[in-house]
Structures are given as structure tokens and as C-alpha cells.
Structure 1
Amino acid sequence: MRIISYNIQYGLGIDGRYDLARIADEIRDGDIIGLQEVERYWQRSGMVDEAEALAALLPDHHWVYGANLDMDASYRDEGGRLVNRRRQFGTMVLSRFPIISSRNFPLPKFGTLDQHSIQQGLLETVIDPGTGPIRFYSVHLSHLCSETRMPQIEAILDILRRAPAEGGAWCGGHPDPAAGWTEGEMPPMPRDLVLVGDMNCTNTSPEYAALTGPMTGRYGRLCNTDGLVDAYVAAGNDENGGSSNPTGSRIDHCFVSASLRHRVRAVSIDDTATGSDHWPVRVDLD
């Protein structure tokens, strides 16, 4: 199973062209794909619904979209009829396997006076690739500084911890089965998870340590038995190596629950991709 994480910079490539078809070709081999910076109805990208457009270009994938920045973009047509439309910016998950359920969580936002600060969120999906269900998350963290990202990391860790106890999208029975609330099988909320996204931080940051465990001078990284592991490292790569964008830093990551670390077979970063100012990260799992 191939997992891909890609910040597509709303389709704007390093050559200054908007080209969603190019993006689709760069991720077509993915079985489960987490995208960041997917927008709908922005003037800069031609007022395109990028989520719908990407889904049309990848018709064999199920998909969900998580709108984090959400504003009015409605208008009246020539006949005066109101066309309701939202200008949105967020994350997306595409999967060759059915997406059983999804939730979108807003993350803490720092209100700035002069610097640009946007609402960001964590998109959760539950997917069963045939080997048992997993939770798959796509996220994009604040670009401003470590201090604006740390509250987001803390919120993410809380969400990840709570999920199994909260249960699936619905759980339990209902006093009146005929009411239809328990249509279909009860959806799962598994413990195993994969978290991908543009974290805007490297392995030397406190955010990375909060996710994976502290670094010690004598014993190396102290990963927890019930915590997260950097898939790049689990695949045998040097934690200090790699780059996920032309600036030379590895800020796009895939973290897996410790229970999945032995299923990581390979991680590669496609530095030939030109569809964005980031490069796709590919993770192969058994």
C-alpha cells in the first residue's frame, strides 16, 4: 500500500503555472493520499473547485475535503438567482479504498496584527485497505513559528488519544432500530493511525519532539510504545537527512503509530515533481 503526502500549494507549480492535471499525475500511484493547501473558488486559481477537479482527475479514488478557511463567495447570476458558494482552503484525503467516516477538527489559531494567519485543521478519515481499518489524518500546521505550532501539536495529540475511546462516527445501539439511526454496520475507530502533512517544522524542532519523543545525547530518540514514529526513520533513513522542498528542509512528514512501524518498507521524496513548491512524500507499507 502506497501512502502519499503532498502540499500542492493550490496547484501553483515552481514554474508559476496552475496545473491540477500535473498534480494528479504526480500522485496517481498513491493508494491513500493526503493533500494540503487545496482551495475552492479563489480568484488566483481561476475560481476552480480544486477538490472536485482533482477528484475528477482521479476517478478511482474516494475522497473527502476538510475546509478550514471558509468564507462567502456567493453571487447572483444574470437572472438574479442567488448562487451560494464558499471560498475555502483546506486539506483533502483520497483513497482507492472506501472512506468509512471522516471528521474535521479546527486547530488553535494565533491572531496576528500584521502577519498573515489562517485557520487550520486536522482532517481525520477511517479507511480499511483490506488488512484492518486505520485512522488516516491530513494536516497543515502554522507557518509562522514554533510558538504558534505547539498549541496545534498539543491539540492533535489530544485528538489522537481521545479517538478510540470516543468510538466511530456512531456507536452503540438505539431504542428504536426502525428509526434508521443504526443504518449499516457500526463504523470502527481503530487505534492504528497514520498522520501526514506539511508540519512546517524539521526534526530538530520541539514540535517534532512532542510528536515522536525527546532526543537524548546518549540513547537517541526516545519513541514511546504507544506513540508516533517518523516513517522516514522507520524505513532506515537518517533522521537528519532528506528534504521535502527545494529549500533543503524536511518539513513534510508521515508519522505512524508505533504499532505500524515494522510495516514501513520504504519512504521516498519525489524531488522531480514540479506541481508545487513542495515535493510529494511516498510511504510504502505492508
Structure 2
Amino acid sequence: MLKLITWNIQGARTQAGGANLDRIIACLDRFSDFDVLCVQEVTSGFPARDGSDAGDQFLALSRRLPGYTGVEGVWTDTLGPAGTRRRLGSMIFSRLPVLQCFRHSLPWPPDPEVMSMPRGALEATLQAPGGPLRVTTAHLEYFSEHQRMVQVERLRELHREAWAHAVGERPGDPGGGPFAAVPRAAPAILAGDFNMLPHSDEYLRMLASFADGTLPYRDAWQLAHPGRHHAPTVGLHADAPNASLPFTFDYIFVSADLAGRVRQVRVDGSEEGSDHQAMLLELA
């Protein structure tokens, strides 16, 4: 059984507004053992919400997860005080061998009506027991529906491209140089914070079919819990800004060839620091 967790940790935020990565690790340990972890809103150089030092969380998470290969994708990289860098992004941690990684910047068309920031998708091909598996974690725009929709379209394009690489033949450098034909898997998991509601236009577009035969994404929650409403992943606790109306922004999508292998999807409602809750996928 392969176990994957996705979680927007919001810079390891605590209820008091500081940052505590040890609490994040403790929550993960309580929730489930995992083979793959996808985390969003990992920070370095940005202060915590109470103004305290949040540290380099990319490095600190890697040190707290021995036995995992950590891959980072940085989507915001700006100059901070005294020449330091301020970075915000995502990470994938895997106990399985990581064969290949891609860091995809997602479209960021101007939308002068709202705040926005650069967004991205981090892709890793893993050597899973049943063969190569493509895992992507994404974090889409919150304020701009226009930007979010074009980011969904880009994720679909990336899935189509990866599928074509996986099912087609391509020559490679037998000497093992950068032209080597490293696998890019057809079976795929896409997980993260999509900032979209169930059955919204963006959600429905993510699940739409492809005209060229590329296998579409399926919602793992609906596969594990047919006919049931999504468990809320945002605003579950009294101190959260959206606590008055819990809702779902976090999803795990699987390519249609993995649909029959989905055994369970669960949301951990215990953590009270981040506005978001962790989600677990169990895949046979």
C-alpha cells in the first residue's frame, strides 16, 4: 500500500502566530506513516505572522525527515532585509527513489483587480513497486479566478505532455548524459491546495476528458467515497479566519489508470495551526 499525504502547512504557523516545524512533524506522525509527502507554503527568510523568525524551512524539513529524498520548488524568490532571500514554495519528500524532477512555473497573467503572487507545480517521477509513478504538487492562486483557471489549463497541458512522453518512444543517450531517456510516468497523482471549491468551473475543468486519448484525472475523494460530499479541509477550527464556514480547497487527483487502486482518502482534522488540514491517499 502506497501512502501519500498532502498539506498546506502555511509556513508551519501555530495558533499564536509563530512557526513550529516540530509540531508539523508530530501531527504527521499522529496522522499516518507515509511514503510520499507533498507540502505547500514552505518558507525561508519570511517572518512568521507574529514577526518571529520562521527560519529556512526547506532545509529544516529535510533535516527532520531522514530516510526521505526531499525535492523543492521555489515560486517566490525576492530580496529581503540585509541582502537575504525570501522564498516561498513547495516540497515533495519520498521514501521511493526519485528518478526525475521538474519545476513548472504556472501562468501568472495580470489581474489588476486583486492581489496575486507567482505559483508553481513541482513534479517528481518515483520508482514505485508497480512501476514509475508521477507525483505533482500544485498551489494555485487564491484571489484571482482568472489566474486560477489558466493555471488549471497549464496543469492539464503538463499532464498531456507527460502522458505523451510516457506512452511514446524517444531516443536517448546511451552514455547516460543529459539526453538520457529518463522515464516520465503515465500513472499520475496531482495533489495540493487548489483554492477552488468542489464542482466549481475550475474543478470541473480539471476533471474534463482529453480529445487525444490522454487519460483524464479523477478525484480520489469521490473514488473512495462515492456520492459523499468532500470533507472540508479549510476553516475547521475556531481561530481560523474562515472557521465560520468550513469548506474544501485541497484535493488529490489520480489519473484514470489509478482509479481502481484508490483504497482510502482521509482528512486529518486535528491540527489547529495551519488553516488547512492534511489529506491522506492510500493506493494499492
Q: TM-score range by the shorter chain?
A: 0.7 to 0.9
2:274 maps to which residue? 276
User: 2:232, 2:248 within 8 Å by CA — same for their partners in 1?
Assistant: yes
SS at match of 2:281: strand
Distance 1:114 1:47, change over 3 A: farther
How far off its partner does 1:113 sit?
4.2
**After the TM superposition, which parts of structure 1 deviate over 6 Å for at least 4 consecutive aligned residues?**
none
1:127 maps to which residue? 126
> Which stretch of structure 1 is more off in the superposition, 186-195 or 14-23?
14-23
User: 1:71, 1:87 within 8 Å by CA — same for their partners in 2?
Assistant: yes
C-alpha RMSD over aligned residues: 2.4
Could you tell me which runs of 5 or more consecutive residues in structure 1 were left unpaired when the two chains were aligned: 77-84, 215-223
- Is 1:206 the equivalent of 2:204? no
Query: Identity over the aligned pairs, expressed in percent?
Result: 30
TM-score by length of 1: 0.84
* Structure whose alpha-carbon radius of gyration is higher: 1
TM-score by length of 2: 0.85
Q: Aligned partners of 1:19 and 1:47: how far apart in 2?
A: 8
Q: Aligned partners of 1:227 and 1:243: how far apart in 2?
A: 24
- Cα shift readout 1:87-123 (whole Å, capped 9, x = no counterpart): 2111110111121111111111143446321000011
1:7 maps to which residue? 8
Q: Aligned partners of 2:165 and 2:87: how far apart in 1?
A: 28
2:25 maps to which residue? 24
The code of the aligned residue for 1:267 comes to V
The code of the aligned residue for 1:227 comes to P
Distance 1:174 1:101, change over 3 A: closer
Q: Aligned partners of 2:64 and 2:275: how far apart in 1?
A: 21
Q: Aligned partners of 2:254 and 2:116: how far apart in 1?
A: 28
How far off its partner does 1:172 sit?
3.0
Could you tell me which runs of 5 or more consecutive residues in structure 2 were left unpaired when the two chains were aligned: 237-242
Q: Aligned partners of 1:143 and 1:92: how far apart in 2?
A: 19
Q: Aligned partners of 2:129 and 2:82: how far apart in 1?
A: 44
- Cα shift readout 1:245-281 (whole Å, capped 9, x = no counterpart): 2241111000000100111111110001123110000
SS at match of 2:264: strand
Equivalent runs, 1:108-119 vs 2, <5 Å: 108-113=107-112, 115-119=114-118
> Which stretch of structure 1 is more off in the superposition, 50-59 or 25-34?
25-34
1:34 maps to which residue? 38
Q: How many aligned positions are there?
A: 263
User: 1:97, 1:128 within 8 Å by CA — same for their partners in 2?
Assistant: yes
User: 1:15, 1:274 within 8 Å by CA — same for their partners in 2?
Assistant: no
